[in-house]
Amino acid sequence: MDSVRSDRDAGRVTLPKAIKILVAGGFGAGKTTLVGSVSEIEPLRTEETLTHQGIGIDDLSGVEGKKTTTVAMDFGRITIGDDYRLYLFGTPGQERFWFLWDELALGALGAVVLADTRRLADCFPSLDYFERRETPFIVAVNCFDGARRYDLDEVRLGLTLHEDIPIVMCDARRRESGKEVLITLVEHAMRMRLGPAPSSR
C-alpha cells in the first residue's frame, strides 16, 4: 500500500542504492582516519539518537522501557558509478555500548574491525558483537608508527579469530591501504552471503 513511496507522480526519479559499511574498533584505533583516507569527501559528523531497552540494573527505579543515548559518528562516502553509493561509518568509540549498534548494523554490507596491537583487547567487544550478529567482518591491524610489529598469525591467535575470517595489515592513513581493506571485506561478505557454491538444501 504505502510501499511505493518514491515514485508517486514525481517523474520517477532514479536514485542510487546506498550501501553501508561499518568501521569499528577501540578508541583511537584509527576509525576516522580510515574513513577519511578512502572517502571522496572530508569525513562528516552526525549525531544519532539510539534507543535501547533499559537493562535490568536500575531495578530500584522501577523505570522500564526505552532509554536513549546520543552518539556521534563520523562518516565518509564513495560513489560507485550511477547505481551505488558506499557510506562508511566510524562507530561510536564507547565500545561498551555495543548493544546500541543494532540500528546501525541493520542492512550493513559488513564491518571492518580495526585492531591496535598496543591494545588488542579493545576490539574484543566489536568482534563478539559482529560474530553474534553474523555480520560479515574482517580484522584490519592498523600499523602505527613505533608500534611493535606482530605476526598476523600471532594477532589471530590473540583474538581467537576463526580461520575463515580474513585479517590484514593496514596503514589507515594511506588511501591504497584503506582501499585494500575494503576490497578484502567486500570479497569476504560476498563469500559469506553467496557461499562458494549454491548447493545444499
Binding site for other proteins (CB under 8 A): 2, 5-11, 13, 15-20, 38, 44-49, 70, 73, 75, 77-81, 83-87, 89, 104, 106-107, 109, 175, 179, 182-183, 186-187, 189-190, 193-194
Separation CA 72–CA 70 (nearest Å): 7
- Tell me the three state secondary structure of residue 118: helix
Do residues 107 and 88 make contact, with C-beta atoms less than 8 angstroms apart? no
**Minimum distance between the CB of residue 96 and other proteins, rounded to whole angstroms?**
21
CB of 156 to other proteins, least distance (A): 24
Q: Which CB atom, from 83 or from 154, has the smaller least distance to other proteins?
A: 83
Measure CA of the first residue to CA of the last residue in the chain; give whole Å. 33
Which of 85, 80, 144, 90 shows the shortest CA–CA distance to 112? 90
Cβ closest to other proteins, residue 50 vs residue 123:
50
Closest to other proteins by CB, 103 vs 154, is 103
| 17 φ, ψ (degrees, to nearest 5) | -95, 135
- Residue closer to other proteins (CB basis): 37 or 122: 37
Q: How far is the CB of 160 from other proteins (least distance, A)?
A: 27
Contact predicate 55/149, CB 8 Å: no
